Structure 1
């Protein structure tokens, strides 16, 4: 009679131990995979094409001598675009000299003027540089230097 009474407790104890071990194993597996997936989701640093600062004479309504010193970084979506644009930086600088020289100094002093100029530069950078040209992923134009004097 004592053997039959111990058997249910022994089976229940064994079942509880198996459940605890399974729970511990599942928790360990979950946290190890969450750490790996979070490490895999870390975004890459954006690819940039830097354009050295340019100094240009500006137009002024009062016919004063004004200068603009501006540098840019082109944010691109992939390494292929970055590699494609790098040899064309001198061509981009030449086009930027022309564009920046047409700007009015009083407009560039305002935040709206700087935003409008960045949009113009973005349009300029997105123009085809060669024929045929592969599909480029140009995301944004950022100022790295900006002085109006």
Structure 2
């Protein structure tokens, strides 16, 4: 017994071109929506990164210190240093901490300066070295186990060796 080929063909449903077009259109819409969502999310991240890069930096805060006059370690007779500088700090809170503890800061600076020789301070390199030593000394905690200060720079306004 042979099966009728027409009956077999009738049993298998034919896919209509309309259904195929609809399926392709849905697939394209899903891909476009996914691509749009990915673009939007990536732009949001890039925009946030761009905003942090463009965000203006906080303006520096300065604390001027009074003039210091100290005798230097003797080399060729007596010499003294007259120096005035300004500290650059991170926040206004740091300004208040430094001002409240000015006697301790002044003492540290005087001890550091009076241990120097004129030959150590007369070159630009010596002045930069002194700046880093001043920052280190001033940034040490003012109380035992306390927080360090946040002095980031020493800016000389007067520097005379005689």
TM-score, normalised relative to structure 2? 0.61
Equivalence for 1:108 = 121
| Cross-structure match for 1:122 | 135
Secondary structure of the 2:103 match is helix
List structure 1 runs of 4+ shifted beyond 3 angstroms.
41-45
Q: Within 5 A, what are the aligned runs for 1:1-149?
A: 44-62=58-76, 64-134=77-147, 136-149=149-162
Q: CA deviation at 1:144?
A: 1.8
Higher relative contact order (Cα pairs below 8 Å, separated by 6+ residues) = 1
Contact 2:63 2:86 in 1 (8 A): yes
**Aligned pair count?**
110
Q: What secondary structure sits across from 1:98 in the alignment?
A: helix
> Which protein is richer in strand relative to its size?
1
How much is the aligned-residue C-alpha RMSD, in angstroms? 2.0
TM-score scaled by structure 1?
0.66
Q: Distance in 1 between matches of 2:144 and 2:73?
A: 34
What SS does the corresponding residue of 1:125 show, helix, strand or coil? Answer: helix
Long gaps (5+) in structure 2: 1-50
Question: 1:132 deviation in Å?
Answer: 4.6
How big is the shift at 1:44?
5.0
Tell me how far apart the structure 1 counterparts of residues 58 and 152 of structure 2 sit (CA, whole Å): 15
- Per-residue CA deviations over 1:83-123 (Å, capped at 9, x if unaligned) read 11111112111111111011011121111111111111011
